[in-house]
Amino acid sequence: MINKHKTTRVPGKPRDFVDCYLDELDKRRSTDQVIMLGSWLLVVFCVCLFFLFIRIQRPKSFPPGPRPIPIFGNLFQFNIKNPLKDFKKLAEQYGNIYSLYIGTKPAVVLNGLKVIREALVTKSADFSGRPQNLLKDVTEGKGVIIADYGIQWKEHRRFALMTLRNFGLGKQSMEERILGEIEHLVAKLDKFAGSSMYPQTLFHDAASNIIYLVLFGTRYDFGDETLNVYVRLFSENAKLANGTWAMIYDALPIVRSLPLPFKKAFDNYSTLKILTANMINKHKTTRVPGKPRDFVDCYLDELDTKDNESTFSEEQLVVYIMNLHIAGTETTSNTLLTSILYLMVHPDIQKRCQKEIDVVLERKSQPSFEDRHNMPYTHAVIHECQRIANTAPLSVSHCTTRDTELMGYTIPKGTMIIPNLSSVLSEEGQWKFPHDFNPSNFLNEEGQFERPEAFIPFSAGPRVCLGEGLARMELFLFLVTLLRRFQFIWPEDAGEPDFTPIFGLTLTPKPYRMGVRLRQPAREM
């Protein structure tokens, strides 16, 4: 009845009790709407006032950069899934040194060889710290890669370099370890001769096994569950460390206690610590003090002689081993994956390498690292693969250890420093073909190998990658052995190659299939 009555009603001109009540309802609705609108205006005013008072101010003489927004900084102003193109555009706009804000924290991005060498080499003591971020929180600042620039870092870096040399780095004994692992890889690839396969886990397993041989004196069969867990968790954390959620973790401390995807990095790390500690404890049962068989034994011998001021400890050893493992696995395996991808797409370059390899190794059963001096073209191709792979594009973030200056700008202590190695590896004026895959970037006019100063895939200065020497040896021996025995072909049914990498702490090629063809009988291997 009331609804039927509404059809003949004229608001403001009541005819009866029902009309009077409906007029009163209209007045109250109007008042509520005014109050609600006023409330929203008040909220907007307060938010604007809040943003006005907390506006981020750049320090005096700080590098220029895009204007940050309160709380979030520049978080939404570039593609945090892969910011490399945005970093390049910002360099074009602001110059080779500019600033960003990750939340309210300032960061300075370094681009180009001149700026990066000035910071990481000339003024290395000022720029060799590590910032407080997701990676540092996960590792608790232990180990050697993320450790602060101080006594602990210096002692452990020195120990690692000395021990790696003692166990054959740069010597024939290390070659033998690498070539022994390559035999297992060749045997695996032999099974796929005449067909195709996905090589991702294969190269990761092989690289991981080589560092295991150095650390524990042992290896795992390809596909072993323990090895699979290690490689998977390390790879996940490498992607998380420079990914979207790491940026959010660093920018917004208020969300760190929430069950968001960055928690996965802590869970993975906890699992890896337990696995590594168990391996060390098992290793102790066969150890003979004073007669080290591998890296872990050397560290345990050092623990036996430590004093109260020593930075060595069993907890430190666990993280140390994990650092060396990931450093010895990710960069090498991803560079191998990139190398095979580009050699499949450039069969002419692959054939020229194979021709040179066949001539140099004609009467040898296996290659030696010294053979690189007689293979200028192959050596150039391997370096070009490293350059184009751009495996660690932003290195590992640095941090200023004190107030300092760089290229006329003032940079306060504690500022995050992002060395954009990618900008150097493709810098105009430093390379003949900065944006193309071309071995001529490493060949002089006489066709001899020549390494440009801008080749810094392992970074530069005191924080340069610990495993550079091992990685260089591995890449040469792996690729020469594989190219001598196999021809790698892009499968006809695989579609167009996609060279766009997956961004993270390291760049990883997207999964692809690899066609394998046998070049010569197994007896010649």
Tens digits of residue pLDDT in 102-148: 888 899 999 999 999 999 999 999 999 999 888 899 988 888 889 99
Query: pLDDT digit string (tens) for 43-88?
Result: 444 444 444 445 567 788 999 999 998 888 888 887 767 888 999 9
Angle of helix 263-284 relative to helix 225-241, nearest 10 degrees, comes to 140
Instruction: Please report which helix (H) or strand (E) contains residue 246, including its range.
Output: helix 244-251
* In-domain check, residue 87: no
* In-domain check, residue 408: no
Domain boundaries, position 161: 151-386+433-518
Compute the distance between CA of residue 71 and CA of residue 93 in angstroms, rounded to an integer.
24
Please list the alpha-helical segments (H only) found in 54-171.
84-94, 113-117, 124-127, 134-139, 151-166
pTM above 0.95, yes or no: no
**Would you give the distance in Å from CA 45 to the centre of its chain?**
43
Query: What's the CATH number where 213 sits?
Result: 1.10.630.10
Q: Are 423 and 432 within 8 A, CB to CB?
A: no
* SS3 state at 372: helix
C-alpha radius of gyration, the chain, whole number:
29
**Would you give the distance in Å from CA 102 to the centre of its chain?**
18
* In-domain check, residue 391: no
Return binding residues. 465
Compute the distance between CA of residue 455 and CA of residue 472 in angstroms, rounded to an integer.
13
The helix, strand and coil proportions of the chain, stated in percent and rounded to the nearest 5, come to: 55, 10, 35
* In-domain check, residue 398: no
* In-domain check, residue 445: yes
Return binding residues for heme. 465
* In-domain check, residue 121: no
Compute the distance between CA of residue 62 and CA of residue 98 in angstroms, rounded to an integer.
8
Residues 6+ apart with CB under 8 A from 369: 175, 473, 476, 477
**Short-list 223, 219, 212, 133, CA closest to 183:** 219
Residues 6+ apart with CB under 8 A from 401: 125, 126, 127, 128, 129, 149, 413
Structure tokens at 365: 């059963």
Residues 6+ apart with CB under 8 A from 365: 524, 525
Q: Which amino acid is at 143?
A: G
Compute the distance between CA of residue 312 and CA of residue 143 in angstroms, rounded to an integer.
10
Compute the distance between CA of residue 313 and CA of residue 286 in angstroms, rounded to an integer.
20
Compute the distance between CA of residue 173 and CA of residue 169 in angstroms, rounded to an integer.
8
Compute the distance between CA of residue 452 and CA of residue 350 in angstroms, rounded to an integer.
23
* In-domain check, residue 312: yes
- DSSP readout, 67-100? PPBTTTBTTTSS-TTS-HHHHHHHHHHH-SEEEE
> How many angstroms separate the most distant Cα atoms in the chain?
114
* In-domain check, residue 501: yes
Low-confidence ranges of the chain (pLDDT < 70): 1-14, 17-56, 80, 168-172, 520-525
Q: How many domains does the chain have?
A: 1
